[in-house]
Amino acid sequence: MLDLNNITKIFNKGTVNEKVALNNFSLHLNSGDFLTVVGGNGSGKSTMLNIIAGLLNVDNGNIVIDGHDVTRLQEHRRAYLLGRVFQDPMMGTAPHMSIEENLALAMRRGKMRSFRLGNSKTERKVYRDLLAQLNLGLEDRMKTQVGLLSGGQRQALTLLMATLHSPKLLLLDEHTAALDPKTAKTVLELSEQVVGSKQITTIMITHNMKDAIRYGSRLLMMDNGQIVFNATGKEKQQLTARDLLEKFSSLPE
């Protein structure tokens, strides 16, 4: 489903501020994989996601999603393949529009749109049923402006919108970092439920080592633009937060 082949990305090349963000980086994900990624600040995690999404161009290497080479495609040209939930709950939704209107935008993504954003009775029933699956009571607040929702409610709605059309690849960019622990747990459980039910190939970046171990089928640790640890299956299941801390502490300065 995803191949990153020998990706190199250098910021401020040829200057005193030159920074190698990704160094001959390669990654392969099969369809349905749920990858969690940990690493310190500057390890290359966010650069990797931004390159996949098309926000950044690569200096070398190529990107293949579902058999399509998207290396030179602009962000909007590859957006139909991707869903993304950001760290900031304010991103990913239109705050001055209602829950219903936001879902209508997501439903029409990639389709020809008219000037009038109307919803039929049938569409409203679909939205209500989808929202009910979140168990947050949002199905009874479809006329509420999204900007009035809590951070956790917005992230849950953004997750629903990002996966409405079952993207080939879902990018979760520290999507619970700005939430309190209880709300973060709810959103993570919803993420696992949605990803599992739709079998969406997923990359989740997190700073929480327990979450990286608890969720997903595979775990990567990154440092200085490279993969320094890769665990799957039984090895991942047997990992502890202490194990990951020890691996962090053993990394070169």
Check residue 106 and give its pLDDT: 86
Backbone angles phi, psi at 212, to 5 degrees: -60, -35
Pair 87, 173: CB distance under 8 Å: yes
User: What is the pLDDT of the chain when averaged over all its residues?
Assistant: 90
For residue 27, list its beta bridge partners. 4
59-103 pLDDT per residue, tens: 999 999 999 999 999 998 898 899 999 998 888 899 999 999 999
Beta strands in the chain (DSSP E): 2-11, 19-29, 34-39, 60-65, 68-69, 82-85, 169-173, 201-205, 218-223, 226-232
153-197 pLDDT per residue, tens: 999 999 999 998 889 999 999 999 988 888 899 899 999 999 999
Backbone angles phi, psi at 95, to 5 degrees: -65, -30
**Confidence grade of residue 53 (pLDDT, cut at 50, 70, 90):** very high
Measure the CA–CA gap between 108 and 92, rounded to whole angstroms: 15
CATH architecture of 2-249: 3-Layer(aba) Sandwich (3.40)
On the question of pLDDT at 116 being above 80, the answer is: no
Measure the CA–CA gap between 92 and 158, rounded to whole angstroms: 6
Check residue 115 and give its pLDDT: 44
Look-up of token digits 């392969």? 28
Check residue 117 and give its pLDDT: 53
Diameter of the chain measured on Cα atoms: 60
Take residue 188 and report the two structure tokens written for it. 């993570």
Backbone angles phi, psi at 5, to 5 degrees: -115, 110
Q: What percentage of the chain reaches a pLDDT higher than 70? A: 95
What is the value of pTM for the model shown? 0.90
Check residue 79 and give its pLDDT: 87
